[in-house]
Structure 1
Amino acid sequence: MSEAHGGYYVPHQSHWPIVGSIGLFVLMAGFASLLNGASFGPTLMMAGGLITVLMMVGWFGTVIRENQQGMYHAREDMSFRWGMGWFIFSEVMFFAAFFGALFYARVLSVPWLGGAEPEQWTHQLLWQGFEAGWPTNGPAGVGGEFQPMAAWGIPALNTLILLSSGVTVTWAHWGIKEGNRRKQIGGLAATVALGFLFMAFQVYEYGEAYSHLNLTLQSGIYGSTFFMLTGFHGMHVTVGAIMLLVMLGRAIAGHFTEDNHFAFEAAAWYWHFVDVVWLGLFVFVYWL
């Protein structure tokens, strides 16, 4: 039904949901096989990943075409906004769990193992001689000696990069609202470049951690929480940069207008979320 009749556009039957389900199932089966030492695990993971990417390209492409054909109006727009809002909320909860794990380890678990009340008996019976402190690789010195990652090198530079990218994506948004294609394309191009620059520095940082600091996933609780938080954040930066790259392509194609550009807004919301998470990481993982 059309908007004039108070209707809501219901898309035709689509094969993309089942394709996505198959892709995710194959991806997870491959990952489980890899963890259990199966030789076909990486191949299965790659196949599942390719199927999932095919689904995303096809499904998102269908949505873009429907939008360009004028099938979406105010009610569909509101659904998209609610959907993206709840998705970002789920991502907030995702990172909240990992920050909670870091909090538990630093504020509760490590002090208890070092003899703090009310678990002083744990120290006396199991880990005599262990001195609580952060960063630590645990009472048994798991993974051997390591050096923590300094905050005021690449992490501080990456903080500046992400904060700058928040400015450039906002600048691009202003360009869309003003009908200034040069500003929107320039702002998006700068944001995408900064996003991939951030990832390049993080890859270099990981290389330094493994090669010179002996800081690995096996470096006790500090190593596991460090790579868990920074790794998942890096994955989200990569996803956000790809989203903005698609938005750049659409901006170049002239898809966005002053009144119809929620796809860009959704990507910008996600990017600002990534920025905020990084600030938490910089403070609690690198700095304090």
Structure 2
Amino acid sequence: MAVKTEKYYVPAQSPWPIVGAVGLFLLASGAGMWAAGIAGIAGPVVFAAGTLVMTVMLFGWFSNVISESHQGLYSEQMDRSFRQGMTWFIFSEVMFFGAFFGALFYARILAVPWLGGAGNNAMTHEVLWPQFQPIWPLLTTPGGMETTAMGWLGLPLINTVILLTSSVTAHLAHLALLQEQRDRIKAWLGATVLLGVLFLALQIWEYVHAYQDLGLRLDSGIYGNTFFLLTGFHGAHVTLGTLMLFIMWLRVNKGHFTPAQHFGFQASSWYWHFVDVVWLCLFVFVYIL
């Protein structure tokens, strides 16, 4: 008796991986030049170019995968591969943010007390920085730059409520999909996208407030470094998540997805909930504590 085997679709060579690599390179290069204040306007221009390339790559690559799926080229094994791939991708993101949270905890729990003379280092601060006060956040740098800490009330609290609400609306959109209520999917998913855009707009406002009113900058010592790196990278992930959900909203309007087949929607939802959890950790450890 012949053994029945399951087909496994192998896509043709695609330009999108190299396009994505170029986009990420432009994003990183532009962000670095922009943050360092070198090359004048070149930094923002390169960063904008990277954003455009990444947007084109996402729409192009997603459209290829959607087309292949609608042609019936994917098997159950391929679906499992997609799920495993998305799971490992989110795990890699957990490790990414874990490194930055680790730097924050190291500075707060070990480095700052050590510089203040904790343990057997009673004279360390007298030698390195006589006026040093081991109190977090560090509002004065060794160079004499003074800044003000960003409080958790106001914009940070509002953004927390916005992201938590968006997680609820994303879940309601998923439930509506399972119940095949197309109008409710459009409404709840559209609301999620709008909440994501609102979060990003308020974060930009918060950054302007930090630079202009608080003197809190990327070069404001370890506090400024950790604040902007953690919140900035999170903002980048919110941008990506919002773009993914917007693409899902467009697909819903085209009649895509069924209760049995909607992994693209589900993967975007997973990613959005992950972004929300990261923000809750940020809100607690960066803004409150």
* TM-score when normalising by structure 2: 0.90
Question: In 2, Cα distance between the equivalents of 1:32 and 1:164?
Answer: 33
1:16 corresponds in structure 2 to: 16
Higher mean C-alpha displacement, 97-106 vs 125-134: 125-134
Q: Is 2:167 the counterpart of 1:166?
A: yes
- 1:176 aligned partner: 177
1:123 counterpart letter in structure 2:
H
Match of 1:6 in 2: 6
Find the counterpart in structure 1 of residue 71 from structure 2: 69
The 3 A distance-change label for structure 1 pair 38 and 160 is closer
- Matches of 2:58 and 2:119 in 1, distance apart? 51
Give 1:172's aligned amino acid.
A
CA distance in 1 between counterparts of 2:134 and 2:153 reads: 25
Gaps of 5+ in 2: none
- Checking the alignment, whether the CA contact within 8 Å between 1:127 and 1:139 is kept in structure 2 is no
Secondary structure of 1:120's counterpart equals: coil
Query: What is the DSSP-based 3-state SS (H/G/I as helix, E as strand, rest coil) of the residue aligned with 2:189?
Result: helix
Note if contact 2:140-2:146 (Cα within 8 Å) is conserved in structure 1: no
TM-score w.r.t. the length of structure 1 is 0.90
The one-letter amino acid of 1:83's match is G
Native 8 Å contact 1:166 1:272 kept in 2 = yes
State the partner residue of 1:134.
136
In structure 2, the residue matched to 1:121 is 123
Matches within 5 A, 1:219-234: 219-234=220-235
Q: Give me the identity figure in percent.
A: 54
- Contact kept, 8 Å, 2:141 with 2:220, in 1: the verdict is no
Report if the CA contact (8 A) 2:7-2:75 is conserved. Answer: no
Q: Quote how far apart the aligned CAs of 1:238 are.
A: 1.0
- 1:11-68, CA deviations, whole angstroms, 9 ceiling, x for partnerless residues? 1233333443444455556667776944695455554544443333222111011112
Closer, same or farther in 2 for the Cα pair 1:149/1:265, shift >3 Å? same
Instruction: Indicate yes or no: 2:88 matched with 1:86.
Output: yes
- Aligned Cα RMSD in Å? 2.2
User: Is this contact kept in 2: 1:26–1:48, CA < 8 A?
Assistant: yes
Instruction: Find the aligned partners of 2:22 and 2:219 in 1 and give their Cα distance.
Output: 33
Whether contact under 8 Å (2:9, 2:78) holds in the other structure is yes
Q: What is the CA-CA distance between 1:286 and the residue it aligns to?
A: 0.4
Alignment correspondent of 2:106: 104
Q: How far apart in 1 are the matches of 2:271 and 2:156?
A: 21
Deviation at 1:141, TM superposition (A): 5.1
Q: Look up the equivalent residue of 2:57 and give its one-letter code.
A: M
* Cα gap change, 1:26 to 1:273, in 2 (>3 Å): closer
- For the pair 1:272 / 2:285, whether they are aligned, the reply is no
**CA distance 1:213–1:194, shift in 2 (3 Å):** same
Total equivalences in the alignment: 284
Cα distance 1:173–1:100, how it changes in 2: closer, same or farther (>3 A)? same
Which residues of structure 1 form unaligned runs of 5+?
none
Matching residue within 43, 53, 56 for 1:54: 56
Q: CA deviation at 1:107?
A: 0.8
